[in-house]
Amino acid sequence: MRLYTTSALPLVLGGALGLGAGAAAAADLEFYFPVGVNAPAVATIDELTSEWAAQNPEHTIKPVYAGNYEETTTKALTAAAAGNPPQVAVLLAIDIFTLVEEDVIVAISDIATTPEDEAWMDSFFPGFMKDARFEGKTYAIPFQRSTPVFYYNKDAFRAAGLDPEDPPETWDEMIEMGKKLTVKDANGNVTQWGTRIPNLGLAGAWMFGGLVVSKGDVLSADSGTEVSIDSPASIASLEFLLELAEEEVMAPGGISWGDTPKAFLEGQAASIWTSTGNLAFINENADFDWGVGFLPGGDGPGAPAGGGNLYVFKDATDEERAAAIDFMKFMTSPENAARWSIATGYVAPRPDAWELPIMQEYVAELPQARVALEQLPYAEREFATFQRAKVTQFLVEAIESVVTGDADPAAAVEAAQEKADDVLGDYR
Amino acid sequence: MTADMSRGLNRIALSTVALVLAAVWGLPFLYSVWTAFHPEKFSANFQWNAPLTLANFAEAWQAAPFALYFLNTLILITIVLVANLILCTLVAYAFVRYRFRWAGLLFSLVMVQLLISPEILIVENYNTLNTIGMIDTIVGITLPYLTSAFGIFLLRQTFLTVPKSLDEAAQIEGAGAWRVLWTVYVPLAKPVYLAYGLVSISFHWNNFLWPLIVTNSPEVRPVTVGLSVFATVESGVEWSLVNAATLMTTAPLIVAFLIFQRQFVANFMRAGIK
C-alpha cells in the first residue's frame, strides 16, 4: 500500500545514471498521451517509451495515460497553469491555436535548428504538416494521424448487382449505387441502408469537413482566425446529406459516430464513412468480404486529416527540450511509425515508413490500409480556429439542425458564420 | 363499480407502472450483462443459444492493472468517507447545539458551496496541491473532498429533528457535549449516515476527471481511470469489452448495495414508524 509516490526516486536514479554516462545532460520527461483507438495501444506506447529509455540511460521518461483527447488537453493545460506541465504530449492537431494562445507550447522549429532537425521535420507528408504549422513556425510533429475512408461491403455490392471492385467515386455515383444498396423487407422497412455518414457532434463536423474539401473549399484558414462556413461548397455538402436521406440511401436524421462500425458489421449499412482507426476492428470482426475506397467526392476526391500531434511544452529546461526532441525523433522514426501504425490503424505519417518490409508485409495482408495513403494528397486540415471548442460548436449546431430538418442549409450556415465571425473578430 | 374493484384496478395500474419503470432502469443493466458474457458478434444480436464466454473479462482485466486500481479506489473512498463522517458530524452538531455569532452567515456560506460544481475548481485545486507537493498521491485526490457541504446540511437537518428533551435529559444525567453527541444524536441519525455513506461512496467510486488530472502514476489511480481506456472514441466501441470492464468495476458497488439494502430500507422503515 503506497499512499505517496516517491517521485524523487526516478530523479535520483536518473541523476545517478546521468553522472555515470558522463557528458550527456540528464532529463526526466513526462509524456501525456490519450487513447483514441483500441486499448492495446497503451501497451505499444509503453513498449516504445521503455525502448527509448533503454537506449538513453541518462534520461528517464514517464508515459502518463491522460484519458481521451479532450481530457488530455484539460490535464495538460491545468498542469501548465500550475507550472507543472509535461515536457511532451500528444494532443489534437486542431488544438494548436488553443495551445499557442495559452502560451504553453514552444515552436519545435525554434529549438530544433540543425540541418538534421530540419530534414526530420521535412520527412512527413505535407498533408499532415499543414495543421502543425502556424505563422511560419512548426509547432507539432505528426504522430497519431488518421483520415476517414469509405468502407464497403463487397457481398452487398454483389447482391445489388454492382461491381465489388468499383466503389462509388462521386456523390452522384454514391446516390445511384446507394439506391440499389438499400434493401427493404416485405413491410417496406429498411433492413440495409446504402451508406452511413456520421453527422452528429464533433465527428459529424469532421466528416462534413471532408465533403466540403471535395467541393474545393476548406472550412477554416491556416491563420486560425477565418472560417468559411457559409460557402457554396458548404451548402452543397449539406444538400448532399439531405439528398442521401431523401433518396433513401441513408437513414434520415442524426447519425452517430460510435455506432457506425457496428452498423457496418451487422449489415445495417452496406457502406460507411469512418476513420482508418477502424481498420483493425473491422478486419477482426467482419464476416463478409469488404473493401476500402476513397471518400466519394463532390467535384473530386477530398478528405479531412485528423488525429493527434506531438507538442513540446514551454516550461521545459534546455536539457529537457533536447531530450524531448530526441524522444520525438525516436517515436516518429520510420520503424516506430510503422509499428505504431500497424498496432493501431493510424496512418504512418511519413513516406519512408511505408517502404519498410514490415509495412509492406502489413499492406500485402491488409491492402485496404493503403487507400488512406493514396487519398492523403487530397486531404486538407480539419476545422480548427482560435476558441475552437466554441466555434466548432456553431458548425456542429448548423449541421445537426439541417440533418434533423430544423433549418434549411443556407440559413443554418449563415447563422453559424455570423456567430463564428463574432468570436474570431477579436483575433484578427 | 364498487370501491373494492377500483382499488383492485388501481393496484394493477400501479404495478404495471412499477414494472415498466423497473424495466426501463433494468434493461441497460441486463444488456451490459448480456454483452459482457458473449462474444462481440452477439452484442446486438440476441440469440438464446449464443455461446457464453468469460474472454471479455479476461481481456479487460489484462488491459489495465485493475487489482491495483481497486485497492486505490478502496483507500480513496475510505479516507473520504471517514473524514466526511467525522467532520460533517462535528460541524452539523455545532450548528445545531450552539448559539454563536455569525452562525446564520456561516451556515449560508456552507450552503453556497452546494452551488459550485467541483469541476470549476479543478485548476485552483491543482495549483494548491502542486504548491504543497501532493500531486500524484491518493491523499491529494481526497483533499478537496474531505468535508462536504451536502453532508453538513443533511446532518444538520437531521439533528434539528432530535427532540430537545432527549438532549436535556442526557445533560441532567451528567453527559458532556461529546457524550450527548455520541449517545443521543449519532444513533438517531443512523439511517441518514447510511444513506449519506452510500451516496458518498458511489460518487467517489465514479469520480473520474479530478483523479485523472491530479494523478500520473498507475500506483495511485482509481478504477475509473482504468475503465476509460476502453472508451475508444476514434475506432468503434467494443461493447462486450466495455461492458465486461464496467461490470467488473461496478460489481463491488452493486454487491455492497445488495448487502446493505435490507438494512438501509429497514432503517428508513423504523424511522418512519417512530
- Mutation site, A29, A45, A62, A64, interface B, largest B CB count within 10 A: A64
Q: Is residue B201 part of a domain?
A: yes
Between chains, do B233 and A68 touch, taking CB under 8 Å as contact?
yes
Asked whether this complex has an ipTM greater than 0.90, the answer is no
The string of pLDDT tens digits covering residues B70-128 is 999 999 999 999 999 999 999 999 999 998 889 999 999 999 988 988 788 999 999 99
Between chains, do A280 and B235 touch, taking CB under 8 Å as contact?
yes
CA gap B107, A88 in Å, rounded: 45
Picking from B123, B231, B241, the nearest residue to A78 by CB comes out as B123
CA gap B106, B156 in Å, rounded: 13
Q: What is the pLDDT of residue A137?
A: 94
At residue B268, does pLDDT exceed 80?
Answer: no
Strand partners, A33: A65
Q: What is the pLDDT of residue B257?
A: 81
In chain A, which residue's Cα lies nearest the Cα of B60?
A39
| Nearest to B65, CA basis, from B223, B249, B207 | B223
Residues A270 and A196 sit within 8 Å (Cβ to Cβ): no
The string of pLDDT tens digits covering residues B29-73 is 888 888 889 887 776 677 777 788 888 898 888 877 889 999 999
Interface of B with A (CB under 8 A): 40-41, 43-45, 63-64, 71, 75, 122-123, 126-127, 130, 135-139, 209, 212-213, 216-217, 219-220, 225, 228-239, 241
Question: What is the SS3 string spanning B108-172?
Answer: HHHHHHHHCCHHHHHHHHHHHHHHCCCCCEHHHHHHHHCCCHHHHHHHHHHHHCCCHHHHHHHHH
Residues B73 and B211 sit within 8 Å (Cβ to Cβ): no
Between chains, do A67 and B126 touch, taking CB under 8 Å as contact?
no
Amino acid, single-letter form, for residue B210: W
In chain A, which residue's Cα lies nearest the Cα of B79?
A3
The string of pLDDT tens digits covering residues B189-248 is 988 898 899 889 989 999 999 999 999 998 999 999 888 877 765 556 677 888 898 899
Residues A390 and A423 sit within 8 Å (Cβ to Cβ): yes
The string of pLDDT tens digits covering residues B144-159 is 999 999 999 999 999 9
CA distance A40 to chain B (A): 7
Picking from A2, A84, A345, the nearest residue to B235 by CB comes out as A345
Q: What's the whole-number mean pLDDT along residues B12-21?
A: 91
Give A-chain residues touching B234 at CB under 8 angstroms: 36-37, 146, 275, 277-278, 307
CA distance B45 to chain A (A): 9
CA distance A125 to chain B (A): 21
Picking from A37, A78, A83, the nearest residue to B232 by CB comes out as A37
3-state secondary structure of A143: strand
Give B-chain residues touching A75 at CB under 8 angstroms: 212-213
CA gap B255, B257 in Å, rounded: 5
Q: Which domain holds residue B180?
A: 65-228
In chain A, which residue's Cα lies nearest the Cα of B220?
A3
Between chains, do A1 and B209 touch, taking CB under 8 Å as contact?
no
How large is the angle between the packed helices A409-424 and A232-246, nearest 10 degrees?
140
At residue B2, does pLDDT exceed 80?
Answer: no
In chain A, which residue's Cα lies nearest the Cα of B70?
A1
Q: Is residue B221 part of a domain?
A: yes
Strand segments, DSSP code E, in A80-154 are 88-92, 133-134, 137-138, 141-146, 148-153
Strand partners, A309: A91, A142
Q: What is the pLDDT of residue A36?
A: 64
Residues A21 and A57 sit within 8 Å (Cβ to Cβ): yes
Residue B211 exposed, middle or buried by CB count within 10 Å (0-12, 13-18, 19+): buried
Residue A134 exposed, middle or buried by CB count within 10 Å (0-12, 13-18, 19+): middle
Mean pLDDT by 10 residues, chain A (428 residues): 41 40 70 76 88 94 90 93 94 94 95 94 92 94 94 97 96 96 93 96 94 95 93 97 96 91 91 89 89 96 94 92 95 95 89 95 92 92 93 96 95 96 92
At B111, phi and psi to the nearest 5? Answer: -65, -40
User: What is the DSSP-derived secondary structure letter of residue B184?
Assistant: I
Picking from A5, A42, A278, the nearest residue to B235 by CB comes out as A278
Residue listed under C-alpha cell 511519413: A350
3-state secondary structure of A310: strand
Between chains, do B235 and A68 touch, taking CB under 8 Å as contact?
no
Give B-chain residues touching A280 at CB under 8 angstroms: 235
Q: What is the pLDDT of residue B41?
A: 72
Q: What is the pLDDT of residue A172?
A: 96
Q: Is residue B11 part of a domain?
A: no
Residues A254 and A200 sit within 8 Å (Cβ to Cβ): yes
- Report the Cα–Cα distance between both ends of chain B, in Å, rounded: 37
In chain B, which residue's Cα lies nearest the Cα of A277?
B235
| Nearest to B170, CA basis, from B162, B161, B160, B180 | B180
Give B-chain residues touching A38 at CB under 8 angstroms: 232, 235, 238
Give A-chain residues touching B209 at CB under 8 angstroms: 67, 71, 74
Q: Is residue B38 part of a domain?
A: no
Q: Is residue B115 part of a domain?
A: yes
Helices (H) and strands (E) in chain B, counts: 14, 0
Q: What is the pLDDT of residue B271?
A: 53
Between chains, do A277 and B234 touch, taking CB under 8 Å as contact?
yes
Give B-chain residues touching A65 at CB under 8 angstroms: 225, 229
Give B-chain residues touching A343 at CB under 8 angstroms: none
Question: What CATH number is associated with residue B160?
Answer: 1.10.3720.10
Using the CB atoms, write b or e for B114-133: b if 16+ within 10 Å: eeeeeeeebbebbbebbeee
Share the mean pLDDT of chain B: 87
In chain B, which residue's Cα lies nearest the Cα of A258?
B236
Between chains, do B231 and A68 touch, taking CB under 8 Å as contact?
yes
Residue ranges of domains in chain A, CATH in brackets? 23-146+306-380 (3.40.190.10), 148-304+381-427 (3.40.190.10)
| Nearest to B130, CA basis, from A104, A80, A29, A9 | A80
Distances (CA, A) of B126 to A73, A109, B134, B137, B218: 15, 31, 9, 12, 18
In chain A, which residue's Cα lies nearest the Cα of B40?
A285
- The size of the A-B interface in CB pairs under 8 A is 115
Q: What is the pLDDT of residue A12?
A: 40
Q: What is the pLDDT of residue B254?
A: 86
Q: Is residue B125 part of a domain?
A: yes
Q: What is the pLDDT of residue A339?
A: 93
Q: Is residue B43 part of a domain?
A: no
Between chains, do B235 and A275 touch, taking CB under 8 Å as contact?
yes
Task: Quote the number of domains for chain B.
Answer: 1
In chain B, which residue's Cα lies nearest the Cα of A8?
B133
Q: Is residue B190 part of a domain?
A: yes
In chain B, which residue's Cα lies nearest the Cα of A77?
B123
pTM above threshold 0.90: no
Q: What is the largest CA-CA distance in chain B?
A: 75
